[in-house]
Amino acid sequence: MKPIIQISLDLTNIEEALEMAEIAVAAGVDWLEAGTPLLLAEGLQAVQALRRRFPNHPIVADLKTMDGGYLEAEMMAKAGATHVVVMGVAHPATIRAVVKAAKDYNIQVMGDVLAAADKVATAKLLEACGVDYIIVHTGFDERGENPTLTPLDDLASILKAVSLPLQVVGGLSITQAASTPRLGAPLVVVGAPLVIDQQEFSPSTNKAELQKILETLVREVKLQA
């Protein structure tokens, strides 16, 4: 598949999220993600606000669903999300419930291998349960305790194990994120490097600089198409 650029809006209020989304869309970003901090702070309203402002853009709701899969996916679909995220360490019944809701509401499912003891086996399980994409993810807290960890370490083995499109998430620099299509993961996501200022989830640079960074990223990624 052709590379896709997604921005994760890892912010804690709708106004800042919409402002960053405007910059991202102007720069050519393809998908908008209502990040977990945003969903925790603002709930369904965040997805609804993004859908009103950007009626034609795919919207990923990063719920990190662990239980109640059908209901959570249904709620996000009705709010305007086009993609939802389920955790691979959830019970397989939950993964299947999310997939069923996605089919019923014509959205797609991203399966996240974060925290799995065996990420390859978990990716295979997610594929068998019917998800549409695999997220190769090393967590924020994991990396806080061990900064040497990177999801790039898991990419090659998961790429060999499944046939679904992959996304790599977790502490990547802008340059590293831009390189992932060449490594076999066409779904490029950026967010935390742009919005986390130390431990505070807030924009870390000014609007002009953000747009310039994103425009450069979009150009580099699209050249790999």
> 209: pLDDT confidence band, cut at 50, 70 and 90?
confident
- The strand pairing partners of 8, in sequence order, are 33
The pLDDT-based confidence of 203 (bands split at 50, 70, 90) is low
Neighbours of 94 (CB within 10 A): 20
The pTM assigned to this predicted structure is 0.95
Q: What is the pLDDT of residues 60-84, one digit of tens each?
A: 999 999 999 999 999 999 999 999 9
DSSP 118-134: SHHHHHHHHHHHT-SEE
With contact defined as beta carbons under 8 Å apart, do 5 and 52 qualify? no
Judge whether 114 and 87 are in contact, CB under 8 Å: yes
- What pLDDT, on the 0 to 100 scale, is given for residue 208? 84
For the segment(s) 4-222, the CATH number from 3.20.20.70, 2.60.120.10, 3.60.15.10, 3.40.50.150 is 3.20.20.70
Handedness of CA 9, 43, 94, 57 (dihedral sign): negative
Give tens-digit pLDDT for 88-138.
999 999 999 999 999 999 999 999 999 999 999 999 999 999 999 999 999
Mean pLDDT across 3-13: 95
What pLDDT was estimated at residue 224?
Answer: 86
Tell me the domain boundaries of the chain: 4-222
Task: Quote the pLDDT of residue 204.
Answer: 56
Pick the closest to residue 26 from 207, 194, 206 (CA basis): 207
Helices (H), 65-139: 69-79, 92-105, 119-129
Query: What is the residue-averaged pLDDT of the chain?
Result: 94
CA angle 164, 68, 80 (to 5 degrees): 65
